[in-house]
Every structure is written in C-alpha cells, then in structure tokens.
C-alpha cells in the first residue's frame, strides 16, 4: 500500500518571463533565452571580471563581478554570428536607482545610437521574477580587464611603448569626452570602462569605445 505525500511538491516552476527584442535581432535570440532569460544568463554566461563581490560598510554592493557576463555566440538561420554581453541590473545603483527604471541603461544605449555616438548596440531586455537582464552586442576589441592577454612585453614592447599606448588611449578617450559632452552626455571617463581596438604591429590605438552606462545622464539641449 502506498500513500501520496501531501507535503511533496512537484518541480519548481520558473517565474514567467517578459522579453522584448529589438526587431533587427529577433532572428538571433535563442528560444532558451526567451523562455528563461535569468537562468540562461546564470548558466551560460561567463563572468567578465574576476574576484569577489565588493560591498561597503553598510553592506551595499559596490562592485558585483557576477553581474556582467559574456554570453554564447548567437546565430540566425543563415549562420550569421552575433557576439553578446548580458548584464543583471542592480536597480539600486547609479542613475538606475535614482530613476526607478530598471531599463535605464538600455534606454541610454538606444538614445546614444539615435544620436550617432559610439556605443554597444542594445539587443534585448528581460524581466523574470523581479530580476532584470539587458543584452547588448559585444564591442570588438580588448577590455581593460583583458589587457594582460595582449602579452605586450612578450611581443617586444618596451616600457616606453606601453606608456605611449596608454597615452594614445587617453587622448582618444578625451576626444570622446568632448564629443559626448557636446551632445549633452554626462558620464565618468576612465580607461577601465573602455574597450580598445589596437594594432599590435604598428603600436597604435585605433579606437576606444565606452561601456558601462548605468551612471550616465543625457541633458536636453535648449531649443
């Protein structure tokens, strides 16, 4: 004789997800992300930064190394590849917390592209069980956290060469600061928040592209 356990529950049901995809990328988004964006982000994403989560004296998260991840390459039906990055939004941080809009950074990216400014293209945004995820393109180049992978000394770079490369990057970042400032875009400017496109052989920085827009404001220009 057997008895059903009235306290035994079935498989845990995932919270329903709401996913919005930019029209031009609708063919790239995998069904598994559409069905469970938070689970996909946690299972399939690879942390971009190393180290532990940092908190302040009040216990508030100052830096979450698990919040931004490289996602697997997405492909459309023709095999065209799309390299993507996902972010789990901290709704208390920066302008996101001040605005009360979990998709504040996503909307900033949309506006920057509308203004013709260099930034990652927004691809999708999702909410599931109170967790918010945004997906954007991965900008080609090397992040500050990946700079050691260039192995510049092994490639014959001297200390002077490395210093010159950083000087070039700072000059290009300053040009961006002026370009964005003229458009009313207010943000911090640090090399650690940039992606660098470098020609190793010629020892030149070809381009610098900003990332991390959660503390950005866009001031409306007077008519």
pLDDT digits (tens, 9 = 90+) for 132-171: 999 999 999 999 888 888 999 999 999 999 999 999 999 9
**pLDDT tens-digit profile of 10-57?**
566 789 999 999 999 999 999 999 999 999 999 999 999 866 656 656
The sheet with strand 194-199 has its strands ordered as 142-143, 194-199, 204-210
pLDDT recorded at residue 155: 93
State the sign of the Cα–Cα–Cα–Cα dihedral 83, 106, 98, 133: negative
Q: In 32-166, at which residue ranges do the beta strands (DSSP E only) sit?
A: 46-47, 54-55, 61-63, 68-70, 74-75, 81-82, 84-88, 122-128, 131-137, 142-143
Parse the chain into domains and list their residue ranges: 17-137, 142-218
Residue 188 has pLDDT above 60, yes or no: yes
HSE of 40 in the Cβ direction (CA atoms, 13 Å)?
27
* Short-list 95, 87, 93, CA closest to 71: 87
Residue 120 exposure: Cα atoms within 13 Å on the Cβ side: 27
Question: What does residue 184 show for φ and ψ, rounded to 5 degrees?
Answer: 85, 15
Chain-wide mean pLDDT for the chain?
A: 90
- The domain 17-137 having CATH identifier 3.30.200: the answer here is yes
In terms of Cα–Cα distance, which of 146, 149, 201, 195 is closest to 172? Answer: 195
Beta carbons within 8 Å of 194's beta carbon, 6+ residues apart:
143, 144, 169, 173, 208, 209, 210, 211
Coil, helix or strand at residue 59: coil
**CB 150 within 8 Å of CB 132:** no
pLDDT tens per residue, range 196-206: 999 999 999 99
Q: In this predicted model, what pLDDT tens digit does every residue of 94-141 receive, in sequence order?
A: 889 899 999 999 999 999 999 999 999 999 999 999 999 999 999 999
Look at phi and psi of residue 110 and say left if phi exceeds 0, alpha if psi is from -120 to 50, else beta. Answer: alpha
- Name the phi and psi angles at 10, rounded to 5: -80, -170
User: Residue 4 above 60 pLDDT?
Assistant: no
**How many angstroms separate the CA atoms of 213 and 102, rounded?**
13
> What pLDDT is recorded for position 14?
83
- Cα separation of the two ends of the chain: 82
Residues with Cβ within 8 Å of residue 27, at least 6 apart in sequence: 76, 77
């Amino acid at each position: 004789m057997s008895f059903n356990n009235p306290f035994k529950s079935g498989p845990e049901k995932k919270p329903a997800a709401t996913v919005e995809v930019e029209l031009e990328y609708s063919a790239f988004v995998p069904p598994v992300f559409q069905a469970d964006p938070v689970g996909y982000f946690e299972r399939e994403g690879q942390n971009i930064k190393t180290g532990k989560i940092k908190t302040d004296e009040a216990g508030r998260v100052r830096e979450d190394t698990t919040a931004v991840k490289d996602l697997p390459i997405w492909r459309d039906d023709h095999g065209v590849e799309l390299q993507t990055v996902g972010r789990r939004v901290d709704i208390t941080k920066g302008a996101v917390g001040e605005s009360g809009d979990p998709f504040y950074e996503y909307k900033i990216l949309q506006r920057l592209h509308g203004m013709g400014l260099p930034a990652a293209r927004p691809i999708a945004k999702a909410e599931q069980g109170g967790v918010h995820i945004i997906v954007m393109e991965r900008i080609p180049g090397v992040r500050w956290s990946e700079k050691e992978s260039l192995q510049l000394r092994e490639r014959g770079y001297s200390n002077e060469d490395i210093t010159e490369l950083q000087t070039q990057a700072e000059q290009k970042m300053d040009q961006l600061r002026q370009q964005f400032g003229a458009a009313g875009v207010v943000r911090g400017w640090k090399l650690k928040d940039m992606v660098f496109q470098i020609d190793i052989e010629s020892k030149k920085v070809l381009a610098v592209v900003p990332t991390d827009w959660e503390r950005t404001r866009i001031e409306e220009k007077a008519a």
